[in-house]
A and B are shown apart, each in its own frame.
Chain A
Amino acid sequence: MRSLIFSALARPLFGLMLAVSVIILFRGHNEPGGGFVGGLVAAAGFAILALADGGGRARAALRVHPVELMGAGLLLSFVSGLPGLFSNGSFLTHLWITLPVGGGLKLGTTMVFDLGVYLVVLGGVLALILRLYEEPSA
């Protein structure tokens, strides 16, 4: 069902939802939010593209295969636990460093882990949705 209004609005809505999902991802460190919710919102953004213009449009916007995104996310989360293993003997112990930038920028491996979760959720939900959307009807 190709609705002109929906197609026209889909692109700005998609960009907006991606931006909001990234905000939710970064907000999750100290306040409600995080990788899982961010991933779901981003997947909803891609789903809007799929609803408006078809699954092919969403796949083109995604550029990589959703399963590759899942793999990359899992790898990121796994790698974020390794520094703790080699420094402390305990896997998934998170470490922080403070860069002397601005007012002291705190970077930690928790962000890498959360980014991994974000990518896994995005890839997983999209793999399911795009597959179900494009199946030929019986």
Chain B
Amino acid sequence: MHIVVTIKQVPDTNEVRIDKKTGTLIREGVPAIMNPEDKHALEAALCIREELGDVKVTVLSMGPPQAGNTLMEALCLGADEAFLACDKAFAGADTLATAYTLAMALKKIAPVDLVLCGSQAIDGDTAQVGPQIAECLGIPQITYAERIKASEKSVEVESGFGAVRRRVSADLPALVTVGKAINRPRYKTMKGIAAAFRDKGVQLLTSQDIKVNPGRIGLTGSPTSVKKTFVPELGRAGRIIDGGPETLSLGIIHTLEAENLLPKS
């Protein structure tokens, strides 16, 4: 069985700051990390390998050369093989073009039985790439997985789906997107790190290698574009009221009264 986990390198949004004057992101010094949910997807793949035995786990990313570091990390965690779709022509892709490129890369490294993605990436928060890859490949998708039971032929998934929990099953090949509730990702071990650097490496895939249609990739293949960005304006009156507990609580009661929100009985 061959499982491919798609992994995105993202800026750690916890560390992102905004230049209030220019309204732009300060990216300098912001660490690049493996998208958190992708780590859970990788963990899920490694668990399936441990359970079923004869399983190969491949990781795949599309991104600039630095994204290779994140794939290296995945190899250290135990992935068997890593591919990075890396080409200037891929740059500027929206989800449609990203999913197309990843799907074509998956066709290149076929046969693939199970594709695992994070349900969403923390930089764009779109949650669109997984389902779009599945559609490109014409295979079933099951999203927001909290439990995965895989066999050689099929997969059964339980997911939190808003107001309900669902159990969905599909024949392989299939694509599953994974949320954080599914597992606790393991840590790197010295042995894993040594093995990754000694025996494994990241293989590059260019647009030539994966036979993409040039009209479908990168900026050219992206129907959406960003018209403008701005810093959210959340400011309000900002009145500060000081005093002891009684004064303050009376102040709040005045506001409640003024808004006609004080219960009568």
Partners in one complex: no
Residues of A bordering B, CB below 8 Å: none
